[in-house]
Structure 1
Amino acid sequence: MPSQVIVNADDFGLSAHTNAVILHAFQAGLISSATAMANMPAFAAACTLAQQPALKGRVGLHFNLTYGRPLSRAILAEPRFCTPHGEFDLRLKQRTLRLSRRERAAVAQELEAQWKHCLDHGLMPSHLDSHQHVHNIWPVGEVVARFARSQGVPIRLARNIGHNIGPLKRLFKTLLNRRLHQLCGVTADHVCTPADVRAGLAPAHGVLEVVAHPSALGSQDFGDAYLARGESLKALIEQRLGDRPRVSYTSLVQRAPVV
């Protein structure tokens, strides 16, 4: 079993309903971390909720390049990122290895704008990940990892546990994760979904992040987008990982060696 577990809920700030489910999951002790979408309608409310004791210091930035409108201007002129109407429409393939200098600068500006939007709302992000895993696109990941290091926060690795990761994909993820860790310096050791936990794939050591998208399942229970309809995320985590300490990314920064 892993030494520590981070159960992170993505999409905080997406809607009032999502905020309510994530708040409840924190209060129930199911999740230990979340990441907020800075350009979504319920973001300001999420930042207010993030000041509650159960959440404080445990909410990161869910960097978004695929949904809604950007918070910066330069990226609006990039056709591989935005529509002419000013909405995100990412047209990069997952295996894209190069961005133009202008595209890189635009991605960096948008990341800085979303980060600043957090700070302006009283939220100091605990770490960085991304909506629909856009930082798993190599050149985007490099921008995000460098920025994370400049802010002294960890970054999520690409998912590296799962039966559906074939040899070529595993090689790519291994190289990408090595690069993300090299550039940022602080990461968890393993990343998986609740479905991977159900499959018995939790690692034997290290820090594991379980990427969750919790949903309400009755008054005191939670499902998840990665699980079958009606299946309990709460029961799964308790059965498979219940004896492992549940931590946030902040604890990884605290234990990181000084260099």
Structure 2
Amino acid sequence: MDDRIAARPGARSVPAMLTSVPWLVVLVGAGLLAALLVFAMLSFRGTEHQAVPPPAPPLYLPTLPASPSSAAPSPTGDDPVVAVRATRSPEASPSPSASPSPSATPGVSPSAVSPSASEAPPVVLGSASGRLTARYQVVATDRDSFDAALGLDNGSAEARQWQVELSFAGNVKRAEVLSGGATVGSGGGGYVVRGTGTLGAGQATTVTVRFLRNGTGDQPGRCTVDGTACTIG
């Protein structure tokens, strides 16, 4: 018995069928290509539609109510609203400083309004001698008397009490103060002229004394001020 099975008469294999009908293969391939093309077009259009965002809803701005004093018509809902910012003119703004400067005040000098800090009250200093000195000088004379001026000068830096001691020959009998703040007394063979007050630092004064006499002579044998010799002449 033959192992091969005899083919049935009239039966055809698949390769033989494809070979005998070539247009069937072309038709199937064309259908596949068309299906792929349609699929690709649908996929591209879907992606393109997703890339475009949907349109945004319309934006409506709020409207401002009309002011009662404004004569302009109130805007409607369809008109755009324009914001206007009011500004002040520089000429209308007040001056930052309302107080007038010292130089603008009539009748008042700047130095009187704001004195300089470097200014200080003057300091009275004594003269170069640095001590109290006196000068005796005859200013008038006649037969029975003569007038002498005592000039006092406080060259120290402080107020001083003062007295001048005078010694004459026996012809001078009496003395009296004619002018100046002083008193005169006698004692110890001479005369003492004392100031009635203190003599300020750096200040000077003059006292005039009249001496009564018998005979001649008007120069003292001794003149001292606080123990220091006077200048005579």
TM-score where L is the length of structure 1: 0.16
Q: Which of the two has greater strand per residue?
A: 2
Q: Which has the larger radius of gyration?
A: 2
Question: Which structure: greater helix fraction?
Answer: 1
